[in-house]
């Protein structure tokens, strides 16, 4: 089986530094697991990902050693959902939105058959409403509900015409309703701005971000027969990094609290405050409101 993600290949390699950013802390996302460096608070770096001297490398769960998969399931309750279940749950959400079943595909046990023809919309709603409707995948892992490049449980690649992720559905509708490239790009970026996800473990989050990036590349190449420009990649990565962030879903804060300063000069005031005896300061995660063009604290969103 070919590797699902290769960090050294285009366009990942030229976006990798930005894909590692944590907009809440201003630093890189952290591992949040001790399997890589022994310290879960260590930041993920380009150097680590591209080095060849580490025992473990960051890769999709299905490509990890089976013992490591079992260990993460035991310690973190990490179990990735098969695509047919993702499809079933996404179909349920769309049944609620459209007011009817079988909008995008018809389920057949653990498989499905895509419905042909342009999607019809219920009275009072149109295709733009669907694109702009917001969706959040909690504890998103590799984001299989949002972007279904492959079955997260088996690693099987899913063809564009048969993908079932929320973002895939939105781009299908854009393809059916937009016929000019500039307008297509505008609405695809709007679709990316409408989908969100948070994840505790940094390696999963990075894979999720990469899956969204490669989803864009797949659809752009299929529709317009070209690769993205640097400007397009920069705009897209900015959206992805804001909308898919690292967070403890229970507290709404950065995992393990405020990052440790790499070079912190201790002062008399620090000792007076008992800095070595306190728990790390919790930091509320922030995301971006694309309509108001401002940062918002996730826990304050109603």
pLDDT digits (tens, 9 = 90+) for 214-224: 999 999 999 99
Flag whether 146 is in a domain: yes
Of 1-5, 43-47, 233-237, 297-301, least confident by mean pLDDT is 1-5
Has residue 107 got a pLDDT over 90? yes
Q: Tell me the β-bridge partners of 198.
A: 245
Among 207, 206, 197, 200, CA closest to 62: 207
Flag whether 198 is in a domain: yes
pLDDT score at 236: 98
User: Tokens standing for 69?
Assistant: 């998969």
Report the alpha-carbon distance of residue 191 to residue 193 in Å, rounded.
Answer: 5
Has residue 148 got a pLDDT over 90? yes
Report the alpha-carbon distance of residue 150 to residue 157 in Å, rounded.
Answer: 4
Flag whether 157 is in a domain: yes
Report the alpha-carbon distance of residue 149 to residue 156 in Å, rounded.
Answer: 9
Flag whether 69 is in a domain: yes
pLDDT in tens, 168-183: 999 999 999 999 999 9
**Average pLDDT estimate for 92-118:** 96
- pTM greater than 0.85 (yes/no): yes
pLDDT score at 74: 57
Flag whether 260 is in a domain: no
Flag whether 257 is in a domain: no
What is the percent of the chain where pLDDT is above 90? Answer: 78
| 166 neighbors 103 (Cβ within 8 angstroms) | no
Flag whether 136 is in a domain: yes
Flag whether 139 is in a domain: yes
**Higher confidence at residue 199 or residue 260?**
199
pLDDT score at 2: 66
What range does the domain containing 93 cover?
12-252+266-300
Domain count within the chain: 1
How does residue 270 score in pLDDT terms, banded at 50, 70 and 90?
Answer: very low
**Average pLDDT estimate for 106-135:** 96
């Amino acid at each position: 089986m070919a590797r699902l993600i290769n960090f050294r290949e285009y366009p990942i390699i030229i976006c990798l530094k930005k894909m590692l950013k944590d907009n809440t802390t201003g630093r890189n996302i952290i591992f949040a697991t001790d399997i890589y460096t022994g310290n879960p608070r260590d930041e993920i770096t380009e150097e680590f990902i591209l080095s060849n001297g580490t025992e473990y490398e960051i890769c999709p769960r299905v490509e990890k050693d089976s013992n490591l998969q079992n260990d993460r399931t035991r310690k973190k309750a990490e179990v990735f959902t098969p695509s047919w279940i993702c499809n079933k749950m996404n179909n349920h959400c769309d049944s609620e939105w459209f007011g009817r079943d079988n909008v995008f595909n018809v389920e057949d046990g653990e498989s499905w058959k895509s419905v042909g023809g342009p999607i019809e919309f219920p009275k009072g709603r149109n295709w733009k409403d669907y694109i702009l409707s917001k969706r959040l995948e909690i504890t998103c892992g590799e984001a299989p509900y949002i972007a279904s490049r492959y079955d997260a449980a088996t690693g099987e690649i899913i063809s564009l015409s048969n993908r079932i992720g929320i973002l895939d559905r939105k781009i299908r509708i854009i393809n059916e309703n937009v016929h000019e490239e500039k307008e297509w790009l505008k609405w695809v970026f709007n679709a990316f701005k409408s989908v969100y996800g948070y994840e505790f473990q940094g390696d999963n989050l990075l894979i999720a971000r990469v899956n969204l990036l490669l989803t864009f590349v797949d659809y752009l190449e299929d529709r317009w027969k070209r690769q993205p420009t640097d400007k397009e990649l920069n705009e897209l990565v900015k959206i992805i990094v804001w909308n898919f962030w690292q967070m403890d879903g229970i507290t709404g804060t950065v995992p393990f609290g405020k990052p440790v300063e790499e070079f912190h000069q201790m002062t008399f005031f620090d000792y007076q405050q008992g800095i070595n005896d306190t728990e790390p300061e919790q930091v509320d995660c922030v995301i971006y409101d694309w309509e108001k063009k401002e940062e918002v604290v996730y826990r304050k969103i109603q």
